[in-house]
Amino acid sequence: MQREERIETSASAALSDYDAITNIVQNYINGGRTGRTDDMKLAFHPDATIFGYIGPDLFAGPIQGLFDWNDQNGAATALEGRITSIDLIDTVATVRLELDNWTGHRFTDLFTLLKVNGEWKIMNKVFHLHA
């Protein structure tokens, strides 16, 4: 009987973690959709990084580069985002996100997240800009 209680607790915690991760990613999507970088910042750890290619050029460095890009581009009101996978291992998670119509572009984002002080935060974003 005691073992069953532990399993339920773990399953319950995992489900709440999935919900929390989904909410964090939604903050990111909302920030792109509204153009409000402050909304987007809620999703990221302050020391987060970003990597990907824009054409032949590597876009790499602190996450502030993404925030600056979002500020320059403004609201992407037609932006649609879909989480296609979440892989969760205790305090570490990965998320794949498909984004369409971010100022006319399609992206695939891969995030690594860490549970820091009980709260999920994106630590790294690697993206692919579809041609």
Each residue of 84-97: pLDDT tens digit? 999 999 999 999 99
- The Cα–Cα gap between 76 and 89 comes to 33
Contact predicate 109/127, CB 8 Å: yes
Q: For the residues 31-60, what does the mean pLDDT come to? A: 97
Which tokens belong to 14?
């995992």
Residue 39, pLDDT score: 93
The domain 2-129: what is its CATH number? 3.10.450.50
Distance between CA atoms of residues 47 and 39, nearest Å: 17
The domain segmentation of the chain, as residue ranges, is 2-129
Q: What is the mean pLDDT of the segment spanning 3-20?
A: 64
SS3 category, 104: coil
Q: What is the 8-class DSSP label of residue 24?
A: H
